[in-house]
């Protein structure tokens, strides 16, 4: 840290100097000898108006910059500070690029020769951070950052973050730093300089490796001896009485609040497990259902020497149970118990594969950064589980090379066997009392596709998603982008990918495959072209049937479709794809077989290649069976359809197949073989009946307990339903007319709510049109307007941004109707633009409704209505998540009050007030309701 560093942050009127955007604030923090010694900050007159969004974001308005100096007036000062310094910024390309533009405009060139990017550095040194935004990193590292999006606060936070990251680097083992130094040449900023300087200092002293670290084959990693968890020598009986349960919690929580519903659920779960009975439990928000099913499961498992599997819908929920609820219960339950998180082997790193990858020098930028990230992660992780890592798209691609596969490398050949993360996780699962898994893993285990203990007792959380998870697991799909990715991994012999490496090994071993590499090159090039043709034909079929301006389209492939000429063209092209695939598969398999026969002569990197290619071939070989199921020999029970997006007709076109129902499988493999399965969710009933859910998931024929436990929240004081009476009937007007009407209503409601508003759609086309109308109106210029599938970023990132601003509106479809838990500030209002009936032409819905009609039942009352009600209940559940929440639930679809079935939706909600008026009268009512919190 002998050099002089400066951290720089700019606030600007927009993202591009070339397009006329200008600086409105600059701040530079000076670091010398590892300490912050000075800071220069100035507002800057941009000589143009500051957009309203930027004013909201930064708190800097036009009046504040009117008397500020123009950049030309401070250019000399800025130049002098930057001179002879290493330039640091959080996203250095933006700040340096913008500053370069301003300096040139002032007649100067920037004096910077070396840069460091704290985003890039944080990605490497904080490999598990969920976000690399400055504010999120500041919170994570306990850096004071009082005014995010103001240059002085941002520059100071960046400086402090940089110093903390340097300390982290200084604490890394020398072997790790040496590898980081070698890989840093591929980085965008001056990481070679930084790691080189730290390494030089470390080499001046004898290294004392911390006791929790180990160095094996030149890689430092955290020691993870198999933990011998305490075994319960003496247990206690399950606390059946309310007083006993309360006493258990009161010993550890001073502010414990007794929830009778939670205790009632505990007793129901315990009864189901001990009597070998299935159960369905609907537990309202605020019950605390995770603790309610975990506590009795632990008592049952330990007292009876049985394993209980807890299945959640997502991996995120798996980790939440392990890190939060189970951690709490270890302090409450008066005897030790063992838990394990169970995932498929491809979630775990193969250290043998990773070691060999470090010997390669043909890294792309993403690959080099990912290797550096993993090197740092290995001195931290105790699990080797990829879900701990925050990987970029290129990082995920690299993970495919180093993930744990079906082990073509024998234990005696693998020097990492004793340190294998997956083997350790599997041992832990076999010894555990409680196993945490997700629905997808549960399905694979029921099919016998996972090497796990024989399980007989299950708790299924978020059970309303079980049947859908099963259909997803047993479905297949083929996408243009997926096939192109796999082709990219093979590469032709010129591209130094798998084929090149295989051929190099085959030649070294003097082996002679019958299929020459030139033939494989030709086949790969032809296969590439045939894929283009196949998905072009699919896209043509798709949008010939959807000639409107739909953004996204779906078309079912029925027995009738398969007789048409346009499908036959697809089938002929698919046959050419299949033939090319078989030839390529044969050529690769032949090379693998030849290498296998010369196994004793293989070098370690060739063994790793054998492992990587074998794992790749597991995916590659499924193309043939997938094509067969999708195109040539569809299963009778399958729904097959094509879907795509008009603007990306190749990249975003897929062909899918899913079974019509999964209830028969679940009935046979889960409920028919398990001794007890407890199904729980906040939304299992329709009109206070479990019948629809029971039929869908296959539990109907079995004896079972049924329990509905109401939420403890006083909803009449927390939520109110508002229905504008002056919106057109959605079933009586054109979609565009309805969209224009809801856009106008949304503008008025946004001004009334003045807070976070979640707007839910059932159609992405309607969402997109509404977003455009809201944006074009400029009535909401003070609001941050976000839209799923339009605004950049993942679902998680959109939610984070949504929460970050008080005045924010988020438009969402599908996944935004459920599973959203807001930490911190709550949602002020939820707007349901349309009752969530699945579109009758959506392939799965259409096929299900047709099957119900053929069975002589009413498809609307038997399927469409109950499915929509459960989705509707889920959307309401997003509004009140904790005791202090209060919000408005606004339904635009007037069918909720004008139709016979509308009352079923109203009955599905907790007892809350309903107000139905024209918008003009409704707006002050919404304002008053939200102000009275």
Residues with Cβ within 8 Å of 280's Cβ and at least 6 positions away in sequence, in order, are 463, 679, 680, 684, 690, 693, 694, 699, 704, 705, 706, 707
Alpha-carbon span 173 to 219, nearest angstrom: 9
> Residues 310, 312, 315, CA angle at the centre, nearest 5°?
115
Is residue 290 annotated as involved in ligand binding?
yes
Alpha-carbon distances of 560 from 433, 563, 565, 566, rounded to whole Å: 52, 5, 11, 12
Alpha-carbon span 78 to 43, nearest angstrom: 13
Alpha-carbon span 313 to 463, nearest angstrom: 8
Alpha-carbon span 559 to 436, nearest angstrom: 42
Is residue 284 annotated as involved in ligand binding?
yes
Alpha-carbon span 294 to 322, nearest angstrom: 11
Tally of CB atoms within 10 A around 508: 13
Is residue 580 annotated as involved in ligand binding?
no
Alpha-carbon distances of 798 from 785, 789, 792, 805, 828, rounded to whole Å: 10, 10, 8, 11, 17
> Residues 769, 773, 777, CA angle at the centre, nearest 5°?
170
Is residue 287 annotated as involved in ligand binding?
yes
Alpha-carbon distances of 357 from 173, 410, 499, 719, 812, rounded to whole Å: 20, 19, 16, 56, 41
Is residue 552 annotated as involved in ligand binding?
no
Alpha-carbon span 634 to 641, nearest angstrom: 11
Alpha-carbon span 563 to 559, nearest angstrom: 7
Report residue 134 as tokens.
């400055």
Residues with Cβ within 8 Å of 624's Cβ and at least 6 positions away in sequence, in order, are 578, 581, 582, 585
CA 450 to mean position of chain CA atoms: 23
Find, among 14, 22, 26, 9, the residue nearest to 105 by Cα.
22
Q: How many CA atoms lie within 13 A of 696 on its CB side?
A: 24
Q: Which strands make up the sheet holding 476-479, listed edge to edge?
A: 476-479, 654-659, 638-645, 552-556
Alpha-carbon span 161 to 137, nearest angstrom: 8
Residues with Cβ within 8 Å of 524's Cβ and at least 6 positions away in sequence, in order, are 487, 490, 491, 492, 499, 584
- The phi-psi region of residue 525 (left if phi > 0; otherwise alpha if psi is between -120 and 50; otherwise beta) is alpha
Strands 654-659 and 476-479: antiparallel
Q: Which helix (H) or strand (E) holds 555?
A: strand 552-556
Task: Quickly tell me which residue has 């790691």 as its tokens.
Answer: 195
**Cβ pair 132, 123 in contact under 8 A:** yes
Alpha-carbon span 166 to 122, nearest angstrom: 10
What b-and-e string marks burial along 457-480, b requiring 16 or more CB atoms within 10 Å of the CB? bbbbbbbbbbbbbbbbbbbbebbb
Is residue 734 annotated as involved in ligand binding?
no
**Cβ pair 881, 818 in contact under 8 A:** no
Tally of CB atoms within 10 A around 924: 11
Q: Which helix (H) or strand (E) holds 437?
A: strand 434-438
Residues with Cβ within 8 Å of 340's Cβ and at least 6 positions away in sequence, in order, are 425, 428, 429, 431, 432, 434, 435, 436
Q: Which helix (H) or strand (E) holds 661?
A: none
- Paired strand residues for 689: 686
Handedness of CA 712, 721, 840, 767 (dihedral sign): negative
Is residue 739 annotated as involved in ligand binding?
no
What size, in residues, is the chain?
Answer: 933
Annotated binding site: 283-290
Annotated binding site for ATP: 283-290
């Amino acid at each position: 840290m002998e050099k002089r560093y400066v951290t720089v942050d700019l606030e600007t009127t927009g993202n591009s100097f070339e397009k006329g955007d200008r600086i409105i604030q600059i701040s530079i923090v000076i670091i010398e000898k590892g300490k912050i010694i000075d800071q220069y900050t100035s507002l800057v007159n941009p000589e143009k108006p500051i957009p309203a969004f930027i004013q909201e974001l930064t708190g800097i308005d036009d009046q504040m910059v009117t008397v500020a100096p123009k950049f030309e007036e401070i250019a000399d000062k800025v130049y002098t500070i930057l001179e002879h310094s290493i330039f640091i910024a959080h996203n250095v390309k933006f700040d340096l690029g913008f500053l370069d533009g301003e300096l040139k405009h002032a007649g100067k060139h920037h004096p910077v020769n070396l840069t460091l990017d704290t985003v890039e550095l944080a990605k490497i040194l904080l490999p598990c951070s969920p976000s690399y935004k400055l504010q999120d990193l500041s919170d994570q590292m306990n850096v004071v950052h009082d005014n995010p999006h103001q240059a002085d606060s941002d520059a100071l936070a960046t400086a402090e973050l940089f110093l903390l990251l340097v300390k982290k680097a200084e604490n890394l083992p020398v072997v790790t730093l040496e590898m980081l130094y070698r890989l840093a040449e591929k980085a965008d900023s001056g990481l070679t300089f930084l790691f080189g300087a730290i390494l030089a200092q470390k080499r001046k002293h004898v290294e004392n490796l911390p006791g929790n670290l180990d160095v094996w084959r030149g890689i430092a990693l955290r020691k993870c001896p198999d933990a011998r968890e305490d075994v319960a020598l003496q247990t206690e009986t399950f606390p059946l009485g309310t007083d006993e349960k309360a006493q258990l919690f009161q010993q550890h929580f001073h502010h414990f609040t007794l929830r009778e519903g939670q205790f009632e659920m505990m007793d129901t779960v315990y009864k189901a497990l001990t009597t070998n009975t299935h159960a369905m439990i609907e537990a309202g928000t605020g019950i605390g259902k995770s603790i309610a099913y975990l506590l009795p499961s632990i008592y049952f498992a330990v007292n009876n020497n049985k394993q209980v599997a807890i299945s959640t819908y997502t991996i995120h929920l798996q980790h939440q149970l392990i890190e939060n609820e189970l951690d709490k219960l270890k302090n409450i339950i008066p005897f030790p118990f063992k838990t394990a998180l169970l995932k498929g082997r491809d979630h775990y790193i193969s250290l043998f594969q990773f070691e060999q990858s470090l010997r390669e020098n043909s890294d792309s930028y993403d690959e080099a950064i990912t290797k550096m990230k993993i090197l740092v992660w290995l001195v931290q992780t105790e699990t080797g589980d990829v879900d701990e890592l925050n990987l970029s798209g290129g990082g995920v691609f690299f993970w495919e090379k180093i993930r744990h596969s079906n082990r073509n490398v024998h234990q005696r050949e693998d020097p990492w066997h004793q340190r294998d993360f997956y083997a350790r996780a599997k041992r832990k699962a076999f010894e555990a009392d409680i196993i945490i898994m997700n629905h997808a893993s549960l399905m694979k285990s029921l099919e016998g596709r996972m090497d796990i203990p024989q399980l007989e007792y299950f708790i299924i959380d978020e059970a309303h998603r079980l049947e859908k998870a099963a259909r997803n697991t047993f479905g297949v799909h083929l996408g243009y982008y997926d096939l192109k990715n796999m082709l990219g991994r093979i590469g032709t012999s010129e591209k130094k990918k798998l084929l090149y490496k295989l051929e190099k090994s085959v030649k070294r071993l003097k082996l002679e495959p019958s299929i020459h590499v030139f033939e494989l090159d030709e086949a790969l090039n032809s296969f590439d072209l045939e894929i283009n043709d196949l998905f072009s034909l699919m896209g043509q079929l798709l949008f010939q049937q959807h000639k409107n301006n739909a953004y996204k389209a779906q078309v079912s492939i029925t027995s009738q479709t398969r007789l048409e000429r346009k499908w036959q063209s697809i089938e002929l092209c698919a046959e050419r794809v299949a033939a090319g695939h078989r030839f390529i598969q044969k050529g690769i398999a032949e090379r693998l077989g030849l290498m296998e026969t010369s196994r004793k002569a293989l070098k370690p990197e060739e063994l790793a290649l054998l492992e990587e290619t074998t794992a790749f071939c597991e995916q590659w070989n499924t193309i043939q069976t997938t094509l067969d199921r999708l195109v040539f020999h569809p299963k009778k029970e399958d729904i097959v359809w094509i879907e795509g997006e008009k603007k990306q007709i190749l990249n975003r076109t897929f062909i899918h197949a899913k079974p019509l129902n999964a209830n028969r499988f679940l009935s046979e493999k889960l409920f028919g073989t398990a001794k007890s399965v407890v199904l729980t969710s906040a939304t299992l009933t329709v009109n206070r009946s479990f019948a629809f859910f029971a039929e869908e998931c296959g539990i109907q024929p079995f004896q079972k307990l049924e329990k509905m436990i109401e939420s403890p929240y006083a909803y009449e004081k927390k939520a109110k339903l508002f229905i504008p009476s002056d919106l057109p009937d959605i079933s009586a007007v054109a979609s565009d007319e309805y969209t224009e009407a809801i856009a106008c209503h949304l503008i008025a409601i946004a001004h009334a709510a003045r807070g976070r508003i979640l707007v839910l759609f059932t159609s992405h086309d309607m969402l997109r049109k509404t977003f455009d109308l809201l944006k074009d109106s400029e009535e909401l210029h003070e609001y941050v307007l976000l839209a799923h599938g339009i605004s950049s970023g993942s679902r998680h990132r959109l939610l984070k941004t949504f929460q970050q601003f008080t005045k924010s509106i988020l438009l969402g479809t599908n996944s935004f109707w459920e599973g959203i838990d807001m930490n911190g500030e709550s949602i002020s209002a939820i707007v349901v633009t349309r009752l969530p009936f699945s579109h009758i032409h959506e392939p799965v819905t259409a096929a299900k409704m047709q099957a119900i009609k053929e069975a002589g039942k009413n498809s609307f009352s038997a399927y469409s209505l109950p499915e929509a009600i459960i989705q509707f209940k889920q959307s309401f559940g997003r509004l009140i998540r904790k005791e202090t929440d209060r919000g408005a639930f606004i339904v635009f679809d007037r069918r909720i009050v004008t139709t016979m079935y509308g009352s079923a939706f109203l009955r599905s909600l907790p007892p809350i007030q309903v107000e139905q008026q024209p918008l003009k009268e409704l707006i002050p009512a919404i304002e008053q309701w939200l102000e009275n919190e």
